[in-house]
Amino acid sequence: MDFSQLTTQQRKAFDCDGFLVVANALSKQQVSALTEITDNKARAFLDKHDVPLRAEYNQLDLRPGLLKYPETIELITNASTVPLVTQLLSPNIHLHSTALIYKRPSDPNLPPMRRGWHRDIRIPRDLGHKNLPRVGIKVCYCLTDFHEKNSGLTLLARGSQELNGPLVIPKGAIDPQGLEICDLKLNAGDAFLFDNRIYHTASPNRSTRVSKVLMFGYAYRWMKQEVYLDNRDQKRLRSFDPVTRQLLGGYTDIDTPAWALQTWAKKNKVDPEPVPWHIETQE
Ligand SMILES: O=C(O)CCC(=O)C(=O)O
């Protein structure tokens, strides 16, 4: 995997906002090759009859079967984004989830509808909301332009990764109070990364075109991969380069060090400080 340095400014922005935009993460050729693949995967959804008055019928969230293609396998180690994820988390990561999110146009005059604000990976269900750790980052690749508001991009509540409780949504409202709701304006080929703890939601696409986003989620290796990523075919895994193999879950037990990305991090001088079990006291 080629190297991209996470700048101090990017780290600060991600820590503060809970998300980070990476412009031109994909080339035009990548966008068109990926779109050909994802349009085929979404064919049945795209061919459904129009239901502009029911925004919920216009959303596709397809998760399994996205890694059958050289173009999507290549994306697992995309050089403009995945090095940043590795520096924000650590080399001890793997691919945790994949998702294809398409939204067909809905009537722009629909009344505001209930959202699905949430944090990822359901950690609060076990640990509560207080002092949650960052354990995963989703990389979202735009395959269409998002130049207008309400055109189908995931909404993000800036800074909400630090909240120690549930969102407060006034009765009758659809969005939380006291937080900035970000509906990013991006070009096809841009990506945004978001922290598992940030509150986010799908929202209707009130534009006239289908919106298309491909999401790859990364998490520490001690987080179980989504079941559809469980790849036990060692022969297939061995056909990939070491970093791709690690990210696909190639080291089956947790005690095996993350050799491939550790070596990569050392070579690029971004290996994290060791964390000792004990230290000696001074006499
Ligand atoms: O459909 C969307 O825009 C939101 C996706 C989402 O909430 C998620 O990936 O957790």
pLDDT tens-digit readout, 54-110: 888 899 999 999 999 999 999 999 999 999 999 999 999 999 999 999 999 999 998
Q: What is the pLDDT of residue 192?
A: 98
CATH topology of domain 8-267: Jelly Rolls (2.60.120)
Domain boundaries, the chain: 8-267
261-270 own/partner pairs: CB under 8 Å, 24+ apart:
261/86, 261/91, 261/92, 261/93, 262/91, 262/92, 264/1, 264/3, 264/86, 264/91, 265/86, 265/91, 268/3, 268/83, 270/5, 270/6, 270/86, 270/87
Distance CA 184, CA 203 (A): 12
At 157 the pLDDT is 98
Residue 189: partners with Cβ closer than 8 Å, 6 or more residues away: 24, 25, 26, 27, 28, 30, 31, 141, 142
Task: Give the whole-number percent of the chain exceeding pLDDT 70.
Answer: 100
Q: Is 139 a residue whose pLDDT tops 80?
A: yes
Ligand 1 center to residue 255 CA distance, Å? 32
Average pLDDT over residues 177-197: 98
**Could you give the CA distance from residue 140 to residue 218 in angstroms, rounded to a whole number?**
11
How close is the Cα of 244 to the center of ligand 1, in Å?
A: 25
> Tell me, what amino acid is at 115?
R
- The per-residue pLDDT for 113 is 81
Burial of 80 (0-12, 13-18, 19+ CB in 10 A): middle
- Asked whether 17 lines ligand 1 (CB < 6 A), one says no
pLDDT at 53 over 90: no
Listed in sequence order, the DSSP H helices in the chain are 8-17, 28-41, 43-46, 70-75, 82-88, 123-127, 234-238, 242-247, 259-267
- pLDDT number for residue 231: 76
Enter the tokens of residue 248.
């696909």
Taking alpha carbons only, the member of 214, 282, 191, 226 closest to residue 66 is 214
Cα radius of gyration (the chain): 20
Q: Which tokens is 206 given?
A: 């009130």
Gap between the Cα atoms of 92 and 254, Å rounded? 10
Cα 87 to Cα 6: distance, rounded to the nearest angstrom:
7
In this structure, what token pair is assigned to residue 73? 């396998």
Mean confidence (pLDDT) of the chain: 95
- The per-residue pLDDT for 52 is 84
Residue whose pair of structure tokens reads 């986010």 in the numeric block:
200
Question: In this structure, which residue's CA is closest to atom 5 in ligand 1?
Answer: 202
Q: What is the pLDDT of residue 96?
A: 97
Strands ordered across the beta sheet of 181-182: 181-182, 155-157, 200-201
Q: Indicate whether 148 pLDDT > 80.
A: yes
Residues 6+ apart with CB under 8 A from 166: 129
Q: Is 215 in the pocket of ligand 1 (CB under 6 A)?
A: yes
Question: Could you tell me the distance, in angstroms and rounded to a whole number, from the CA of residue 190 to the centre of ligand 1?
Answer: 17
Higher pLDDT, 54 or 158: 158
Q: What is the pLDDT of residue 112?
A: 81
How far does the centroid of ligand 1 lie from the alpha carbon of residue 171, in Å? Answer: 23
198-250 pLDDT, tens digit each: 999 999 999 999 999 999 999 999 999 999 997 778 899 999 999 999 999 99
Total H helices, total E strands in the chain: 9, 9
Ligand 1 pocket member 154 (CB < 6 A): yes
Instruction: State the DSSP H helix or E strand holding residue 191, giving kind and residue range, or none if neither.
Output: strand 191-195
Q: Which atom of ligand 1 is nearest to the CA of 213?
A: 3
Averaged over 174-194, what is the pLDDT? 97
Query: Is 214 a pocket residue for ligand 1 (Cβ < 6 Å)?
Result: no
Closest ligand 1 atom number to CA of residue 138: 9
CA 103 – CA 101 distance, rounded (Å): 7
Position 206, amino acid = R
